[in-house]
Chains A and B, each alone.
Chain A
Amino acid sequence: MDLHTWALILFTLLGQMAVGAFLVLGVVHTVALRRHESALVDRLTDRSLLAIGPVLVLAFIASLFHLGSPTIAFRAVTNVETSWLAREIVTGVAFLVLGGAFALLQWRKIGSFAARRTLAVVAAIVGVAFVLSMAAIYMLPTQPAWNTAATPIAFLATALLLGTLAVGVAFIASYAYLRRHDDERVEALTGLLQRSLRWLGVGAVALVAVQLVTVPLHVAALSAAGGAAADSAAQMLQGGGLVLGLRLVLAVAGAAIVGALVLRSFREPLPVRTMSAVVPAAFGVVLISELLGRYLFYAANVPIVI
Protein backbone atom coordinates (compact mmCIF):
# COMPACT_ATOMS: atom_id res chain seq x y z
CA MET A 1 0.00 0.00 0.00
CA ASP A 2 1.37 3.40 -1.00
CA LEU A 3 1.75 6.70 0.83
CA HIS A 4 -1.35 8.11 -0.86
CA THR A 5 -3.56 5.46 0.73
CA TRP A 6 -1.89 5.65 4.15
CA ALA A 7 -2.68 9.36 4.02
CA LEU A 8 -6.37 8.47 3.62
CA ILE A 9 -6.24 5.96 6.47
CA LEU A 10 -4.82 8.62 8.81
CA PHE A 11 -7.11 11.37 7.54
CA THR A 12 -10.33 9.37 7.94
CA LEU A 13 -9.38 7.88 11.32
CA LEU A 14 -8.18 11.16 12.86
CA GLY A 15 -11.06 13.17 11.35
CA GLN A 16 -13.59 10.69 12.67
CA MET A 17 -11.91 10.55 16.08
CA ALA A 18 -12.10 14.36 16.31
CA VAL A 19 -15.84 14.39 15.53
CA GLY A 20 -16.53 11.46 17.87
CA ALA A 21 -14.58 13.08 20.71
CA PHE A 22 -16.51 16.34 20.25
CA LEU A 23 -19.86 14.49 20.40
CA VAL A 24 -18.89 12.31 23.37
CA LEU A 25 -17.46 15.26 25.26
CA GLY A 26 -20.71 17.15 24.72
CA VAL A 27 -22.74 14.25 26.11
CA VAL A 28 -20.44 13.79 29.13
CA HIS A 29 -20.50 17.53 29.83
CA THR A 30 -24.30 17.68 29.63
CA VAL A 31 -24.84 14.66 31.86
CA ALA A 32 -22.19 15.72 34.39
CA LEU A 33 -23.82 19.14 34.78
CA ARG A 34 -26.91 17.47 36.26
CA ARG A 35 -24.85 16.42 39.30
CA HIS A 36 -22.02 18.89 39.49
CA GLU A 37 -21.54 22.63 39.19
CA SER A 38 -20.16 23.78 35.86
CA ALA A 39 -16.92 25.20 37.32
CA LEU A 40 -15.93 21.68 38.36
CA VAL A 41 -17.03 19.90 35.18
CA ASP A 42 -15.32 22.49 32.97
CA ARG A 43 -12.04 21.83 34.80
CA LEU A 44 -12.04 18.29 33.46
CA THR A 45 -13.61 18.89 30.03
CA ASP A 46 -12.15 22.20 28.83
CA ARG A 47 -8.59 20.93 28.36
CA SER A 48 -9.91 17.84 26.61
CA LEU A 49 -11.90 20.08 24.26
CA LEU A 50 -8.74 21.97 23.31
CA ALA A 51 -7.06 18.73 22.24
CA ILE A 52 -9.60 18.06 19.49
CA GLY A 53 -8.54 20.91 17.19
CA PRO A 54 -4.93 19.77 16.76
CA VAL A 55 -6.11 16.22 15.98
CA LEU A 56 -8.34 17.57 13.21
CA VAL A 57 -5.57 19.81 11.85
CA LEU A 58 -3.30 16.76 11.81
CA ALA A 59 -5.99 14.89 9.86
CA PHE A 60 -6.11 17.62 7.22
CA ILE A 61 -2.31 17.73 6.97
CA ALA A 62 -2.33 13.94 6.44
CA SER A 63 -4.96 14.36 3.70
CA LEU A 64 -2.57 16.54 1.70
CA PHE A 65 -0.27 13.55 1.25
CA HIS A 66 -3.08 11.84 -0.62
CA LEU A 67 -3.01 14.45 -3.37
CA GLY A 68 -0.89 14.51 -6.50
CA SER A 69 -0.93 18.32 -6.49
CA PRO A 70 -1.25 19.35 -2.83
CA THR A 71 -0.24 22.96 -3.47
CA ILE A 72 -3.67 23.62 -5.00
CA ALA A 73 -5.59 21.53 -2.45
CA PHE A 74 -7.82 24.52 -1.67
CA ARG A 75 -9.55 23.97 -5.02
CA ALA A 76 -11.20 20.87 -3.51
CA VAL A 77 -14.05 23.01 -2.15
CA THR A 78 -15.17 24.21 -5.60
CA ASN A 79 -17.68 21.58 -6.71
CA VAL A 80 -19.94 21.17 -3.65
CA GLU A 81 -22.87 21.03 -6.04
CA THR A 82 -22.23 17.39 -6.99
CA SER A 83 -19.03 16.13 -5.34
CA TRP A 84 -19.11 14.37 -1.97
CA LEU A 85 -15.38 14.93 -1.69
CA ALA A 86 -15.90 18.70 -1.95
CA ARG A 87 -18.72 18.44 0.62
CA GLU A 88 -16.41 16.47 2.90
CA ILE A 89 -13.78 19.19 2.84
CA VAL A 90 -16.33 22.00 3.28
CA THR A 91 -18.05 20.32 6.24
CA GLY A 92 -14.68 19.31 7.71
CA VAL A 93 -13.31 22.85 7.57
CA ALA A 94 -16.63 24.23 8.88
CA PHE A 95 -16.45 21.77 11.78
CA LEU A 96 -12.89 22.92 12.51
CA VAL A 97 -13.89 26.60 12.47
CA LEU A 98 -17.13 26.20 14.48
CA GLY A 99 -15.65 23.71 16.94
CA GLY A 100 -12.54 25.86 17.32
CA ALA A 101 -14.64 28.98 17.93
CA PHE A 102 -16.67 27.10 20.54
CA ALA A 103 -13.52 25.78 22.25
CA LEU A 104 -12.09 29.30 22.43
CA LEU A 105 -15.31 30.82 23.85
CA GLN A 106 -15.71 27.93 26.28
CA TRP A 107 -12.10 28.17 27.42
CA ARG A 108 -12.32 31.93 27.99
CA LYS A 109 -15.97 31.73 29.16
CA ILE A 110 -16.97 34.36 26.63
CA GLY A 111 -20.69 34.72 25.94
CA SER A 112 -23.64 33.17 27.73
CA PHE A 113 -23.88 29.45 28.44
CA ALA A 114 -26.88 29.16 26.10
CA ALA A 115 -25.05 30.88 23.24
CA ARG A 116 -22.03 28.63 23.66
CA ARG A 117 -24.24 25.57 23.87
CA THR A 118 -26.02 26.53 20.64
CA LEU A 119 -22.69 26.96 18.86
CA ALA A 120 -21.56 23.55 20.15
CA VAL A 121 -24.73 21.85 18.88
CA VAL A 122 -24.32 23.44 15.43
CA ALA A 123 -20.64 22.34 15.36
CA ALA A 124 -21.69 18.81 16.36
CA ILE A 125 -24.28 18.62 13.56
CA VAL A 126 -21.71 19.86 11.02
CA GLY A 127 -19.27 17.29 12.41
CA VAL A 128 -21.73 14.46 11.83
CA ALA A 129 -22.33 15.80 8.30
CA PHE A 130 -18.53 15.67 7.83
CA VAL A 131 -18.40 11.96 8.77
CA LEU A 132 -21.45 11.13 6.63
CA SER A 133 -19.94 13.00 3.65
CA MET A 134 -16.79 10.94 4.13
CA ALA A 135 -18.89 7.78 3.96
CA ALA A 136 -20.85 8.98 0.92
CA ILE A 137 -17.59 9.43 -1.03
CA TYR A 138 -17.06 5.69 -0.99
CA MET A 139 -20.64 4.70 -1.82
CA LEU A 140 -20.10 4.41 -5.58
CA PRO A 141 -21.79 1.86 -7.89
CA THR A 142 -18.31 0.92 -9.13
CA GLN A 143 -17.17 -0.11 -5.62
CA PRO A 144 -19.56 -2.81 -4.35
CA ALA A 145 -17.65 -3.47 -1.12
CA TRP A 146 -17.96 0.21 -0.17
CA ASN A 147 -21.41 0.85 -1.62
CA THR A 148 -23.37 -0.50 1.36
CA ALA A 149 -24.79 0.79 4.64
CA ALA A 150 -21.75 -0.83 6.28
CA THR A 151 -19.63 2.20 5.26
CA PRO A 152 -21.54 4.92 7.19
CA ILE A 153 -22.14 2.49 10.08
CA ALA A 154 -18.44 1.66 10.26
CA PHE A 155 -17.40 5.32 10.04
CA LEU A 156 -19.82 6.42 12.76
CA ALA A 157 -18.87 3.49 15.01
CA THR A 158 -15.18 4.32 14.56
CA ALA A 159 -15.84 8.00 15.29
CA LEU A 160 -17.69 7.23 18.51
CA LEU A 161 -15.39 4.41 19.67
CA LEU A 162 -12.14 6.30 19.13
CA GLY A 163 -13.83 9.47 20.42
CA THR A 164 -15.01 7.76 23.59
CA LEU A 165 -11.61 6.30 24.45
CA ALA A 166 -9.75 9.48 23.41
CA VAL A 167 -11.95 11.51 25.77
CA GLY A 168 -11.17 8.99 28.51
CA VAL A 169 -7.44 9.44 27.91
CA ALA A 170 -7.83 13.23 27.79
CA PHE A 171 -9.70 13.18 31.12
CA ILE A 172 -6.91 11.18 32.73
CA ALA A 173 -4.30 13.57 31.34
CA SER A 174 -6.29 16.61 32.52
CA TYR A 175 -6.72 15.10 35.95
CA ALA A 176 -3.01 14.30 36.23
CA TYR A 177 -2.18 17.88 35.21
CA LEU A 178 -4.54 19.38 37.77
CA ARG A 179 -3.19 17.12 40.50
CA ARG A 180 0.40 18.02 39.66
CA HIS A 181 -0.56 21.67 39.96
CA ASP A 182 -2.25 21.04 43.34
CA ASP A 183 -5.60 22.25 42.09
CA GLU A 184 -7.79 22.90 45.14
CA ARG A 185 -10.69 21.01 43.58
CA VAL A 186 -8.77 17.87 42.70
CA GLU A 187 -10.45 15.67 45.32
CA ALA A 188 -13.93 16.58 44.08
CA LEU A 189 -12.72 15.86 40.55
CA THR A 190 -11.78 12.29 41.45
CA GLY A 191 -15.41 11.22 41.83
CA LEU A 192 -16.35 12.92 38.57
CA LEU A 193 -13.46 11.20 36.79
CA GLN A 194 -14.46 7.78 38.18
CA ARG A 195 -18.08 8.12 37.12
CA SER A 196 -17.17 9.56 33.70
CA LEU A 197 -14.77 6.73 32.92
CA ARG A 198 -17.31 4.15 34.04
CA TRP A 199 -19.89 5.37 31.52
CA LEU A 200 -17.31 5.99 28.80
CA GLY A 201 -16.29 2.36 29.38
CA VAL A 202 -19.88 1.17 28.98
CA GLY A 203 -20.09 3.13 25.72
CA ALA A 204 -16.84 1.68 24.39
CA VAL A 205 -17.94 -1.90 25.12
CA ALA A 206 -21.29 -1.28 23.38
CA LEU A 207 -19.55 0.17 20.31
CA VAL A 208 -17.20 -2.80 20.03
CA ALA A 209 -20.29 -5.03 20.23
CA VAL A 210 -21.76 -3.11 17.28
CA GLN A 211 -18.58 -3.79 15.30
CA LEU A 212 -18.59 -7.47 16.23
CA VAL A 213 -22.05 -7.76 14.68
CA THR A 214 -21.73 -5.45 11.66
CA VAL A 215 -18.22 -6.38 10.43
CA PRO A 216 -18.91 -10.15 9.96
CA LEU A 217 -22.37 -9.38 8.52
CA HIS A 218 -20.77 -7.09 5.95
CA VAL A 219 -18.21 -9.73 4.93
CA ALA A 220 -20.95 -12.40 4.71
CA ALA A 221 -23.21 -10.15 2.62
CA LEU A 222 -20.34 -9.40 0.21
CA SER A 223 -19.50 -13.10 -0.13
CA ALA A 224 -23.12 -13.89 -0.93
CA ALA A 225 -23.39 -11.09 -3.50
CA GLY A 226 -20.85 -12.67 -5.89
CA GLY A 227 -18.74 -10.83 -8.47
CA ALA A 228 -16.41 -8.05 -7.34
CA ALA A 229 -18.16 -7.90 -3.95
CA ALA A 230 -17.27 -11.52 -3.28
CA ASP A 231 -13.72 -10.85 -4.51
CA SER A 232 -13.50 -8.09 -1.88
CA ALA A 233 -14.74 -10.47 0.83
CA ALA A 234 -12.14 -13.02 -0.30
CA GLN A 235 -9.44 -10.33 -0.02
CA MET A 236 -10.59 -9.52 3.51
CA LEU A 237 -10.34 -13.19 4.45
CA GLN A 238 -7.01 -13.67 2.67
CA GLY A 239 -4.38 -15.58 4.66
CA GLY A 240 -7.04 -17.13 6.88
CA GLY A 241 -8.46 -13.70 7.67
CA LEU A 242 -5.43 -12.87 9.78
CA VAL A 243 -5.71 -9.07 9.58
CA LEU A 244 -9.49 -9.07 10.00
CA GLY A 245 -9.22 -11.53 12.89
CA LEU A 246 -6.48 -9.52 14.58
CA ARG A 247 -8.54 -6.35 14.16
CA LEU A 248 -11.54 -7.93 15.91
CA VAL A 249 -9.44 -9.64 18.60
CA LEU A 250 -7.77 -6.32 19.46
CA ALA A 251 -11.14 -4.57 19.62
CA VAL A 252 -12.43 -7.29 21.94
CA ALA A 253 -9.25 -7.06 24.04
CA GLY A 254 -9.77 -3.31 24.43
CA ALA A 255 -13.41 -3.84 25.32
CA ALA A 256 -12.51 -6.59 27.79
CA ILE A 257 -10.05 -4.55 29.85
CA VAL A 258 -12.40 -1.56 29.83
CA GLY A 259 -15.31 -3.85 30.71
CA ALA A 260 -13.37 -5.25 33.68
CA LEU A 261 -12.77 -1.67 34.83
CA VAL A 262 -16.49 -0.89 34.54
CA LEU A 263 -17.45 -3.98 36.57
CA ARG A 264 -14.93 -3.07 39.24
CA SER A 265 -16.27 0.49 39.41
CA PHE A 266 -19.62 -0.83 40.65
CA ARG A 267 -17.89 -2.67 43.54
CA GLU A 268 -15.41 -0.05 44.73
CA PRO A 269 -14.09 3.41 43.82
CA LEU A 270 -11.57 3.00 41.01
CA PRO A 271 -7.98 3.76 42.01
CA VAL A 272 -6.52 6.59 39.92
CA ARG A 273 -3.48 4.48 39.13
CA THR A 274 -5.63 1.67 37.67
CA MET A 275 -7.68 4.05 35.55
CA SER A 276 -4.51 5.75 34.32
CA ALA A 277 -3.13 2.41 33.15
CA VAL A 278 -6.25 0.74 31.73
CA VAL A 279 -7.85 3.53 29.71
CA PRO A 280 -4.77 4.58 27.68
CA ALA A 281 -3.93 0.89 27.13
CA ALA A 282 -7.45 0.25 25.82
CA PHE A 283 -7.20 3.34 23.60
CA GLY A 284 -3.88 2.10 22.17
CA VAL A 285 -5.16 -1.40 21.50
CA VAL A 286 -8.38 -0.15 19.90
CA LEU A 287 -6.45 2.41 17.81
CA ILE A 288 -4.35 -0.43 16.34
CA SER A 289 -7.56 -2.39 15.73
CA GLU A 290 -9.04 0.60 13.89
CA LEU A 291 -5.85 1.09 11.86
CA LEU A 292 -6.03 -2.54 10.72
CA GLY A 293 -9.74 -2.20 9.97
CA ARG A 294 -9.26 0.91 7.87
CA TYR A 295 -6.25 -0.64 6.15
CA LEU A 296 -8.49 -3.54 5.08
CA PHE A 297 -11.19 -1.11 3.98
CA TYR A 298 -8.83 0.19 1.30
CA ALA A 299 -6.62 -2.84 0.67
CA ALA A 300 -9.41 -5.41 0.30
CA ASN A 301 -11.63 -3.31 -1.94
CA VAL A 302 -12.14 -4.77 -5.42
CA PRO A 303 -13.84 -2.42 -7.89
CA ILE A 304 -16.02 -3.64 -10.77
CA VAL A 305 -13.99 -1.61 -13.25
CA ILE A 306 -11.63 -3.50 -15.50
Chain B
Amino acid sequence: MAQEQLAFFIDLDTCVGCKACQIACKDKNDLDLDQLYKRVVEYVGGDWKKDGDAWVSNVYAYHVPVQCMHCEDAPCVDACPTGASTKRDEDGVVVIDQDACIGCRYCEWACPYGARAYDADEGKMGKCDFCEDYLANGEDPACVAACPLRAIDYGPLEELEAAHGDLKAVAPLPDADISHPSVVFKPHPDARRAADDPGAIANLEEL
Protein backbone atom coordinates (compact mmCIF):
# COMPACT_ATOMS: atom_id res chain seq x y z
CA MET B 1 0.00 0.00 0.00
CA ALA B 2 1.32 3.34 -1.02
CA GLN B 3 1.93 5.99 1.62
CA GLU B 4 -0.53 8.32 -0.01
CA GLN B 5 -2.43 6.97 -3.02
CA LEU B 6 -2.77 9.50 -5.82
CA ALA B 7 -6.14 9.38 -7.58
CA PHE B 8 -8.31 11.06 -10.21
CA PHE B 9 -11.64 12.75 -9.57
CA ILE B 10 -13.88 12.81 -12.63
CA ASP B 11 -17.06 14.85 -12.65
CA LEU B 12 -19.30 13.05 -15.13
CA ASP B 13 -22.11 15.53 -14.50
CA THR B 14 -19.91 18.27 -15.90
CA CYS B 15 -18.08 16.35 -18.66
CA VAL B 16 -19.52 17.08 -22.10
CA GLY B 17 -17.35 14.60 -23.97
CA CYS B 18 -15.24 17.16 -25.83
CA LYS B 19 -12.21 14.83 -25.61
CA ALA B 20 -9.76 17.67 -24.97
CA CYS B 21 -8.24 15.44 -22.24
CA GLN B 22 -7.77 12.59 -24.72
CA ILE B 23 -6.04 14.86 -27.23
CA ALA B 24 -3.89 16.59 -24.60
CA CYS B 25 -2.79 13.16 -23.35
CA LYS B 26 -2.05 11.90 -26.85
CA ASP B 27 -0.04 15.04 -27.59
CA LYS B 28 1.89 15.00 -24.32
CA ASN B 29 2.83 11.33 -24.73
CA ASP B 30 3.42 11.70 -28.49
CA LEU B 31 1.31 8.62 -29.24
CA ASP B 32 0.80 6.80 -32.51
CA LEU B 33 -2.53 6.86 -34.36
CA ASP B 34 -3.75 3.63 -32.77
CA GLN B 35 -2.52 4.36 -29.26
CA LEU B 36 -4.56 6.12 -26.57
CA TYR B 37 -3.73 6.40 -22.88
CA LYS B 38 -6.98 8.26 -22.22
CA ARG B 39 -10.23 7.41 -23.96
CA VAL B 40 -13.61 9.09 -23.63
CA VAL B 41 -16.41 6.53 -23.68
CA GLU B 42 -19.84 7.63 -24.90
CA TYR B 43 -22.53 5.67 -23.11
CA VAL B 44 -25.98 5.88 -24.68
CA GLY B 45 -29.29 4.24 -23.76
CA GLY B 46 -33.04 4.62 -23.30
CA ASP B 47 -35.83 4.97 -25.81
CA TRP B 48 -39.11 6.74 -26.46
CA LYS B 49 -41.67 5.32 -23.99
CA LYS B 50 -45.45 5.44 -24.29
CA ASP B 51 -47.06 7.17 -21.32
CA GLY B 52 -50.87 7.20 -21.81
CA ASP B 53 -51.42 8.97 -25.11
CA ALA B 54 -48.01 10.59 -25.09
CA TRP B 55 -44.60 9.41 -26.17
CA VAL B 56 -41.95 10.51 -23.69
CA SER B 57 -38.24 10.55 -24.35
CA ASN B 58 -36.22 8.41 -21.98
CA VAL B 59 -33.10 8.71 -24.10
CA TYR B 60 -29.89 9.45 -22.22
CA ALA B 61 -26.20 9.79 -22.95
CA TYR B 62 -23.16 10.62 -20.91
CA HIS B 63 -19.37 10.42 -21.23
CA VAL B 64 -16.80 8.61 -19.14
CA PRO B 65 -13.12 9.52 -19.54
CA VAL B 66 -11.10 6.35 -18.88
CA GLN B 67 -7.37 6.03 -18.26
CA CYS B 68 -5.18 3.93 -15.98
CA MET B 69 -6.91 3.94 -12.59
CA HIS B 70 -3.64 3.27 -10.69
CA CYS B 71 -5.58 0.55 -8.88
CA GLU B 72 -4.84 -0.30 -5.27
CA ASP B 73 -4.82 -4.02 -6.20
CA ALA B 74 -3.40 -3.56 -9.68
CA PRO B 75 -3.86 -6.83 -11.66
CA CYS B 76 -1.35 -5.61 -14.26
CA VAL B 77 1.42 -5.37 -11.66
CA ASP B 78 0.71 -8.93 -10.47
CA ALA B 79 0.53 -10.21 -14.04
CA CYS B 80 3.76 -8.63 -15.33
CA PRO B 81 6.37 -11.41 -15.61
CA THR B 82 9.36 -9.07 -15.60
CA GLY B 83 8.36 -6.70 -12.83
CA ALA B 84 8.40 -3.85 -15.36
CA SER B 85 5.00 -2.70 -14.07
CA THR B 86 5.27 -1.46 -10.52
CA LYS B 87 3.31 0.64 -8.07
CA ARG B 88 5.39 3.50 -6.73
CA ASP B 89 5.76 3.52 -2.95
CA GLU B 90 5.44 7.26 -2.57
CA ASP B 91 2.13 7.82 -4.40
CA GLY B 92 0.80 4.47 -5.65
CA VAL B 93 1.12 5.53 -9.29
CA VAL B 94 1.51 2.47 -11.55
CA VAL B 95 4.47 2.94 -13.89
CA ILE B 96 6.14 0.81 -16.58
CA ASP B 97 9.92 0.50 -16.77
CA GLN B 98 10.33 0.52 -20.56
CA ASP B 99 13.77 -1.12 -20.34
CA ALA B 100 12.30 -4.15 -18.54
CA CYS B 101 9.11 -4.52 -20.61
CA ILE B 102 9.29 -7.47 -23.02
CA GLY B 103 6.03 -6.59 -24.78
CA CYS B 104 4.19 -9.80 -23.84
CA ARG B 105 0.95 -7.84 -23.39
CA TYR B 106 -0.19 -9.99 -20.46
CA CYS B 107 -0.94 -6.79 -18.47
CA GLU B 108 -3.34 -5.79 -21.24
CA TRP B 109 -5.39 -8.96 -20.63
CA ALA B 110 -5.38 -8.39 -16.89
CA CYS B 111 -6.39 -4.69 -16.91
CA PRO B 112 -10.16 -4.27 -16.31
CA TYR B 113 -10.17 -0.83 -17.93
CA GLY B 114 -8.42 -1.49 -21.24
CA ALA B 115 -6.14 1.28 -20.08
CA ARG B 116 -2.97 -0.13 -21.59
CA ALA B 117 -1.93 0.81 -25.10
CA TYR B 118 0.70 -1.27 -26.88
CA ASP B 119 3.34 0.44 -28.99
CA ALA B 120 3.84 -2.02 -31.86
CA ASP B 121 6.82 -0.09 -33.28
CA GLU B 122 8.80 -0.21 -30.05
CA GLY B 123 7.46 -3.60 -28.92
CA LYS B 124 6.66 -2.06 -25.53
CA MET B 125 3.54 -1.41 -23.48
CA GLY B 126 2.46 2.09 -22.59
CA LYS B 127 -0.17 3.74 -20.44
CA CYS B 128 -1.01 6.78 -18.31
CA ASP B 129 1.79 7.46 -15.82
CA PHE B 130 -0.11 10.33 -14.19
CA CYS B 131 2.28 12.63 -16.09
CA GLU B 132 4.91 11.83 -13.48
CA ASP B 133 7.36 14.30 -15.03
CA TYR B 134 4.81 17.12 -14.80
CA LEU B 135 3.97 16.16 -11.21
CA ALA B 136 7.67 16.26 -10.32
CA ASN B 137 7.75 19.85 -11.61
CA GLY B 138 4.67 20.77 -9.61
CA GLU B 139 2.49 20.94 -12.72
CA ASP B 140 -0.91 19.34 -13.30
CA PRO B 141 -1.27 16.23 -15.48
CA ALA B 142 -1.98 17.12 -19.12
CA CYS B 143 -5.60 15.91 -19.06
CA VAL B 144 -6.41 17.86 -15.90
CA ALA B 145 -4.89 21.04 -17.32
CA ALA B 146 -6.63 20.63 -20.68
CA CYS B 147 -10.21 20.09 -19.49
CA PRO B 148 -12.14 23.26 -20.41
CA LEU B 149 -14.89 22.39 -17.90
CA ARG B 150 -12.59 21.53 -15.00
CA ALA B 151 -14.26 18.13 -14.85
CA ILE B 152 -11.04 16.31 -13.98
CA ASP B 153 -9.15 16.79 -10.75
CA TYR B 154 -6.55 14.78 -8.89
CA GLY B 155 -5.14 14.44 -5.43
CA PRO B 156 -4.74 11.99 -2.56
CA LEU B 157 -7.48 9.35 -2.77
CA GLU B 158 -8.61 9.86 0.84
CA GLU B 159 -9.09 13.59 0.31
CA LEU B 160 -11.03 13.06 -2.90
CA GLU B 161 -13.26 10.46 -1.21
CA ALA B 162 -13.90 12.82 1.70
CA ALA B 163 -14.90 15.59 -0.71
CA HIS B 164 -16.80 13.63 -3.37
CA GLY B 165 -17.83 10.21 -1.99
CA ASP B 166 -16.54 6.84 -3.07
CA LEU B 167 -18.27 6.00 -6.34
CA LYS B 168 -15.69 4.02 -8.32
CA ALA B 169 -17.76 2.39 -11.05
CA VAL B 170 -20.43 3.71 -13.41
CA ALA B 171 -21.76 1.95 -16.49
CA PRO B 172 -20.05 0.71 -18.62
CA LEU B 173 -17.03 0.34 -16.29
CA PRO B 174 -16.46 -3.05 -14.63
CA ASP B 175 -17.00 -3.89 -10.97
CA ALA B 176 -14.59 -1.88 -8.80
CA ASP B 177 -14.01 -4.93 -6.58
CA ILE B 178 -11.82 -6.49 -9.28
CA SER B 179 -8.96 -4.07 -8.72
CA HIS B 180 -10.04 -1.20 -6.39
CA PRO B 181 -9.33 1.67 -8.79
CA SER B 182 -7.89 4.92 -7.43
CA VAL B 183 -10.66 7.08 -8.81
CA VAL B 184 -13.76 8.88 -7.62
CA PHE B 185 -16.65 9.70 -9.94
CA LYS B 186 -19.38 12.23 -9.54
CA PRO B 187 -22.11 10.44 -11.50
CA HIS B 188 -24.06 11.91 -14.36
CA PRO B 189 -27.75 12.16 -13.29
CA ASP B 190 -28.63 9.68 -16.03
CA ALA B 191 -26.26 7.04 -14.61
CA ARG B 192 -29.20 6.07 -12.38
CA ARG B 193 -31.23 5.23 -15.48
CA ALA B 194 -28.43 3.05 -16.81
CA ALA B 195 -29.07 0.60 -13.96
CA ASP B 196 -32.72 0.00 -14.96
CA ASP B 197 -32.38 0.59 -18.67
CA PRO B 198 -28.86 -0.45 -19.74
CA GLY B 199 -27.37 1.30 -22.73
CA ALA B 200 -24.37 0.61 -24.89
CA ILE B 201 -21.07 2.20 -25.82
CA ALA B 202 -21.79 4.38 -28.85
CA ASN B 203 -18.23 5.10 -30.00
CA LEU B 204 -16.63 1.63 -29.88
CA GLU B 205 -14.67 2.11 -33.09
CA GLU B 206 -13.15 5.26 -31.63
CA LEU B 207 -11.80 3.45 -28.56
Contact = CB atoms under 8 A, between A and B. Distances in A.
A84 interface: yes
B102 A84 contact: no
A76 B103 contact: no
Contacts of A66: 104
Interface of B: 39, 41, 66, 75, 77-84, 100-106, 109-114, 118-120, 122-125, 172-174, 178, 201, 207
Contacts of A77: 81
A82 B87 CA distance: 14
A137 interface: yes
18 contacts: A67-B102, A68-B101, A68-B102, A68-B104, A68-B105, A68-B118, A68-B119, A68-B124, A79-B82, A82-B78, A83-B106, A85-B106, A137-B106, A140-B109, A142-B75, A304-B112, A306-B41, A306-B172
A79 B114 contact: no
A73 interface: yes
Nearest to A76: B81
A68 B120 contact: yes
A140 B75 contact: yes
A306 B103 contact: no
A100 interface: no
Given A67-B123, A85-B81, A142-B178, A306 B100 contact: no
Contacts of A141: 75, 112, 178
A83 B79 contact: yes
A84 B78 CA distance: 9
Contacts of A82: 77-79
Contact of B81 (A69, A86, A143, A303): A86
A214 B110 CA distance: 25
Interface in A35-87: 66-70, 72-73, 75-79, 82-86
Contact of B112 (A69, A86, A137, A142): A142
A66 B66 CA distance: 27
A306 B113 contact: yes
Interface residues of A, number: 29
Contacts of A140: 75, 79, 109-110
Contacts of B122: 68-69
B86 to A, nearest CB: 10
Nearest to A70: B102
A303 B107 CA distance: 13
A142 B103 contact: no
Contacts of B39: 306
A305 interface: yes
B147 to A, nearest CB: 20
A103 interface: no
A89 interface: yes
Given A68-B125, A78-B82, 10 more contacts: A68-B118, A68-B119, A68-B123, A79-B80, A85-B81, A142-B75, A305-B174, A306-B66, A306-B113, A306-B172
Interface string A159-202: 00000000000000000000000000000000000000000000
Contacts of B104: 66-68, 76, 85
Contacts of A305: 111-114, 174
A70 B102 CA distance: 6
A18 B162 CA distance: 56
A234 to B, nearest CB: 16
Listed residue (A66, A68, A141) with the most chain B CB atoms within 10 angstroms of its CB: A68
B174 A75 contact: no
A93 to B, nearest CB: 13
B114 A83 contact: no
Interface string A132-144: 0000011011110
Listed residue (A72, A85, A306) with the most chain B CB atoms within 10 angstroms of its CB: A306
A79 to B, nearest CB: 4
Nearest to B115: A305
A164 B207 CA distance: 45
B103 A69 contact: yes
B143 to A, nearest CB: 18
A85 B120 CA distance: 21
A76 B102 contact: yes
Nearest to A88: B81
B102 A75 contact: yes
A303 B108 CA distance: 10
A69 B172 contact: no
